[in-house]
């Protein structure tokens, strides 16, 4: 198996070139993310101010992930690739997607802005009045970010479709640079609000990077919207994903609600531990899955089942081997790693131990979450976005339910939420892997029947003439 894997690696230079660019830019982004977290931990500590900042991100993240983010990408890339493959006009479709996303996000953002005081009682029920007021103010500032990302993510989907990964990956680096700069330059004047201002500045830099990446492309923005067949297909593909993609954010919204009732700093510790866990998932799982996605979409368009299956299996083996190794390594070094990066300043030794304990349980889900990204994109390339939604919602229910049981009923505290997350992730990857095999067989067999029927019809027409 290993020898076959290495021979496959050397025959896929383009795949690994794109993966290498994404992996390097993702790694650089996470190095800046580590620096960002170190500054936040030592500046504010595991306290309610940082809890409020992390909790305030839940609503903007939900807006972004429901109406833009993965929902847009999963539906956009297969259609965009198909239009380009046929030599049809893709610019009108892109403008329709971008403009409609922007309008929807602005409207929803205004509604959330007005309802922010009410939402504070739902999202952070364990906060006192002063902390809740800080949460409301931070939430209103951060609502600007989904508007900026609505544009940036559409441009990013174009970059991925065209396999131009450098500026796509660099944008995430610049986002963290903005947060760091805002915190360092303004925190002594406006406290935790400096970090929110930095996040908005980082979102602007994120957009600028992707605009540079498309500078020489033939795409020209126009404020136009046409409800054509391609856009209708886009909506049909996107609709289920609008429910399914925010599952991750919905899980952490549930975790945030539970953590707000635990000791002060629990939300901050949960987020710090999750960011350490998400680093290998992004570098390994998302990088390889994202690189494979346009290839899978192309093979699906060409009705090549053998190539599709081979690509899935190859990428799955790569992800599994590297993610298991990363999970073991992270588990072994979690205590000194967190002490070195976050310890000191306002971040106490007790906070370091609790974060390391929580990260230990989070590390269990590194392989399962890494594989989930690939399997889900297998479904999207087959133009099926409803199955991952249903399975994802089941995983959501299990993760939050188990997290509450471990954290509150078994008195494990914030670490219990991380253990609940693993059980939800394990359920998703097990069920989705089984269902993808069945769906791919059915999809490609139907495709062959259609092609055979078209050939027979063409032959009959020629004979009759």
More confident residue, 290 or 202: 202
Does residue 243 contact residue 188 with C-beta atoms inside 8 Å? no
Residue 253's pLDDT band (cuts 50, 70, 90): very high
Residue 13: the pLDDT is: 52
pLDDT band at 459 (very low <50, low <70, confident <90, very high): very low
* pLDDT at res. 165: 73
Phi first, then psi, for residue 159 (nearest 5°) are -60, -40
- pLDDT at 283 > cutoff 50: yes
pLDDT at 244 over 70: no
* pLDDT at position 276: 92
Task: Give the per-residue pLDDT at 299.
Answer: 81
pLDDT the model gives residue 221: 63
> Which pLDDT score is estimated for 155?
81
Tally the domains of the chain: 1
Residue 233 or residue 201, greater confidence: 201
pLDDT above 80 (res 223): no
Q: What pLDDT does 247 receive?
A: 80
Q: What is the pLDDT of residues 131-157, one digit of tens each?
A: 999 999 999 999 999 999 888 887 877
Residue 386: phi, psi to the nearest 5?
-80, -35
Domain residues for the domain of 432 are 2-464
pLDDT at 462: 34
pLDDT at 451 over 70: no
303 or 36, which is more confident? 36
The mean pLDDT of the chain is 83
Residue 325 has pLDDT above 70, yes or no: yes
The token pair that represents 399 in the structure block: 């993760």
Residue 351: band (very low, low, confident or very high) from pLDDT cuts 50, 70, 90: very high
pLDDT: which is higher, 188 or 85: 188
Confidence of residue 328 (pLDDT cuts 50, 70, 90): very high
Give the range among 207-221, 246-260, 388-402, 405-419 with minimum mean pLDDT: 207-221
Return the HEC string of the chain.
CHHHHHHHHHCCHHHHHHHHHHHHHHHHHHHHHHHHHHHHHHHHCCCHHHHHHHHHCHHHHHHHHHHCHHHHHHHHHHHHHHHHHHCCCCHHHHHHHHHHHHHHHHHHHHHHHHHHHHHHHHHCCCCCHHHHHHHHHHHHHHCHHHHHHHHHHHHHHHHHHCCCCHHHHHHHHHHHHHHHHHHHHHHHHHCCHHHHHHHHHHHHHHHHHHHHHCCCCCCCCCCCCCCCHHHHHHHHHHHHHHHHCCHHHHHHHHHHHHHCCCCCCHHHHHHHHHHHHHHHHHHHHHHHHHHHHHHHHHHHHCCCHHHHHHHHHHHHHHHHHHHHHHHHHHHHHHHHHHHHHCCECCECHHHHHHHHHHHHHHHHHHHHHHHHHHHHHHHHHCCCCHHHHHHHHHHHHHHHHHHHHHHHHCCCCHHHHHHHHHHHHHHHHHHHHHHHHHHHHHHHHHHHHHHHHHHHHHHHHHHHC
Average pLDDT over residues 255-267: 93
CA dist., res. 429 & res. 375, Å (int) = 8
- Contact 58/119 with Cβ under 8 angstroms? no
CA 167, CA 173: separation in Å to the nearest integer?
Answer: 10
The arithmetic mean of pLDDT across residues 107-121, rounded, is: 94
What is the model's pLDDT at position 196?
95
- Say what the pLDDT of residue 254 is: 94
Per-residue confidence (pLDDT) for residue 190, from 0 to 100:
94
Is the pLDDT at 405 greater than 80? The verdict is yes
* pLDDT level of residue 465 (50, 70, 90 thresholds): very low
171-187 tens-digit pLDDT: 889 999 999 999 999 99
Position 17 scores a pLDDT of: 61
Tell me the range of 66-70, 281-285, 384-388 where mean pLDDT is highest: 281-285
Given a cut of 70, is residue 245 above it in pLDDT? no
Neighbours of 301 (CB within 10 A): 16
Percentage of the chain lying above the pLDDT 90 cut: 46
Confidence band (pLDDT; 50, 70, 90) for 71? Answer: low
- What's the pLDDT tens digit per position in 334-344? 999 999 999 98
pLDDT value, residue 16: 53
* Structure-block tokens of residue 191: 């406290």
Decide if pLDDT at 376 tops 60: yes
């Amino acid at each position: 198996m290993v020898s076959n894997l290495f021979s496959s690696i050397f025959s896929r230079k383009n795949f690994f070139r794109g993966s290498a660019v994404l992996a390097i830019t993702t790694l650089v982004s996470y190095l800046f993310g580590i620096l960002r977290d170190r500054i936040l931990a030592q500046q504010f500590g595991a306290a309610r101010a940082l809890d409020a900042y992390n909790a305030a991100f839940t609503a903007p993240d939900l807006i972004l992930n429901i109406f833009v983010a993965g929902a847009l990408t999963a539906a956009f890339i297969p259609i965009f690739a198909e239009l380009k493959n046929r030599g049809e006009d893709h610019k009108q479709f892109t403008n329709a997607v971008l403009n409609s996303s922007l309008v929807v996000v602005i409207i929803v953002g205004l509604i959330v802005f007005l309802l922010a005081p009410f939402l504070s009682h739902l999202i952070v029920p364990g906060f006192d009045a002063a902390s809740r007021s800080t949460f409301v103010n931070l939430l209103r500032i951060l609502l600007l970010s989904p508007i900026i990302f609505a544009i940036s993510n559409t441009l990013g989907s174009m970059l991925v479709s065209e396999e131009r990964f450098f500026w796509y990956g660099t944008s995430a680096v610049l986002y963290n640079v903005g947060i760091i700069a805002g915190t360092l330059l303004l925190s002594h004047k406006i406290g935790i609000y400096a970090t929110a201002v930095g996040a908005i500045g980082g979102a602007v830099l994120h957009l600028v990077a992707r605009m540079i990446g498309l500078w020489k492309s033939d795409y020209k923005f126009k404020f136009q919207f046409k409800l054509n067949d391609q856009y209708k297909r886009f909506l049909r593909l996107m609709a289920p994903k609008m429910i399914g993609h925010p599952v991750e954010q919905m899980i952490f919204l549930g975790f945030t609600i539970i953590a707000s009732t635990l000791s002060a700093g629990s939300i901050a510790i949960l987020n710090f531990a999750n960011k350490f866990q998400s680093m290998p998932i992004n570098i390994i799982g998302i990088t390889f899955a994202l690189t494979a996605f346009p290839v899978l979409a192309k093979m699906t368009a060409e009705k090549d089942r053998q190539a599709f299956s081979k690509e899935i299996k190859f990428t799955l083996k790569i992800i599994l081997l590297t993610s298991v190794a990363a999970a073991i390594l992270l588990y072994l070094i979690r205590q000194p790693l967190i002490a070195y990066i976050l310890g000191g300043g306002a971040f106490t030794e007790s906070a370091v131990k609790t974060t390391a304990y929580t990260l230990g349980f989070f590390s269990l889900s590194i392989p399962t979450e890494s594989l989930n990204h690939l399997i889900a994109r297998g479904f999207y390339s087959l133009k099926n976005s409803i199955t991952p939604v249903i399975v994802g919602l089941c995983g959501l229910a299990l993760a939050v339910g188990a997290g509450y049981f471990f954290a509150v009923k078994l008195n494990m505290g914030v670490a219990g939420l991380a253990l609940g997350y693993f059980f939800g992730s394990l359920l998703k990857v097990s069920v989705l892997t089984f269902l993808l095999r069945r769906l791919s067989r059915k999809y490609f067999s139907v495709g062959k029947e259609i092609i055979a029927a078209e050939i027979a019809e063409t032959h009959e027409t020629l004979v009759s003439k």
